[in-house]
Amino acid sequence: MSDVLVLVDKADGGVKKSTSELLTLARRLGTPVAVWVGDGCDDAALALLGEFGATAVLVADVPVENPVAPVADALAAAVAATGAVAVLVPSTADGKETAARLALKIGSGVITDAVDVQADAGTIVATQSVFGGSTVVHSTVTTGIPVITVRGNSVAPEAAPASCEKRDLAVTLSPSSTLARITGTTVAAKGGRPELTEAAIVVSGGRGVGGAEGFGVIEALADSLGAAVGASRAATDAGWYPHQYQVGQTGKTVSPQLYIANGISGAIQHRAGMQTSKTIVVVNKDPEAPIFELADYGVVGDLFTVVPQLTNEIAKRAD
């Protein structure tokens, strides 16, 4: 089987869950080979990559003073070294820019924000959700090998242990890759909750929450489930919750296993950011609210009555 490259996504020195998701998808297409850019590829990382089926990790120990350009150089070198038939990259802002730069370098087509990837009679087909989520598109690239960015939580990671060997990858940085470098970083203050775009469960609040203090019930439910908190634009524009938690067309795109929408009407711009969620639960006092069209489970009621009861029930089960 041909190699399929997976760019390892890292945070705080560890491997992010998105990498195990990409390895799970890569196994459908060929033999997964991970690409690690920078230092820190230790035994724990090797074991984790092997657990999800990586047969090798190519380590490009180049200085990562710019989060994108050297990574694209490293992936291009990995494509040349392996003759890979596809490259999978996480659909983060950096990942999408990396994918675009790589595609240009190797003369290939790029597909962004895929929510699924399959091999169909030898052709690699990506599924995207477009036009605010109203249309599902199946895409292939017609030139070169597919470079595909995949949204977080598009697939549940499945272990398939393989013996993973570490190999050095020689990379010559292109002159443009060293033109920009990071001179300082400020880590965003984050609480104990998971990152919004990576969380398996997202609990969101909208205008129905009624004010900043109303988000207390949303946060309590989120914490009982180990979930991230999201918000509609109505809530963030009103200053009730920070903008970085906005879900939708002009906010974050999430695709968790479970999305709980509270006091959100379901405008097309909000749906664009959450409708690929696997299970959608809606709490809204208006039975005609459009968001019920998306709901797997719906509760017609006042969120201030329903949500605390839900939180209590979950707390009882956790005891």
Ligand X SMILES: Cc1cc2nc3c(=O)[nH]c(=O)nc-3n(C[C@H](O)[C@H](O)[C@H](O)COP(=O)(O)OP(=O)(O)OC[C@H]3O[C@@H](n4cnc5c(N)ncnc54)[C@H](O)[C@@H]3O)c2cc1C
Name the residue nearer to ligand X (CB basis): 27 or 207: 207
Name the residue nearer to ligand X (CB basis): 103 or 231: 231
**Smallest distance from ligand X to CB 196, Å:** 13
Name the residue nearer to ligand X (CB basis): 211 or 226: 211
**Smallest distance from ligand X to CB 293, Å:** 12
15, with CB counted inside 10 A (0-12, 13-18, 19+), is buried
Instruction: Please report the DSSP string for 122-150 in residue order.
Output: TEEEEEEEETTTTEEEEE--SSSS-EEEE
**Smallest distance from ligand X to CB 277, Å:** 14
Name the residue nearer to ligand X (CB basis): 191 or 287: 287
Phi, psi of 245 (to 5 degrees): -100, 5
Note the residues at the interface with ligand X (CB under 6 A).
206-208, 232-235, 246-251, 263-265, 267, 269-270, 273, 283-286, 289, 302-304
**Smallest distance from ligand X to CB 278, Å:** 20
**Smallest distance from ligand X to CB 73, Å:** 34
Name the residue nearer to ligand X (CB basis): 52 or 215: 215
Q: Where are the beta strands (DSSP E) in 172-254?
A: 201-205, 228-231
**Smallest distance from ligand X to CB 206, Å:** 2
* Cα–Cα distance measured from residue 319 to residue 310, given in angstroms and rounded to the nearest whole number: 14
267, with CB counted inside 10 A (0-12, 13-18, 19+), is middle
* Cα–Cα distance measured from residue 99 to residue 68, given in angstroms and rounded to the nearest whole number: 9
287, with CB counted inside 10 A (0-12, 13-18, 19+), is exposed
**Smallest distance from ligand X to CB 266, Å:** 7
* Nearest alpha-carbon partner for 198 in 21, 4, 49: 21
Name the residue nearer to ligand X (CB basis): 158 or 296: 296
Longest dimension (CA), the chain: 61
Name the residue nearer to ligand X (CB basis): 86 or 221: 221
* Cα–Cα distance measured from residue 61 to residue 301, given in angstroms and rounded to the nearest whole number: 55
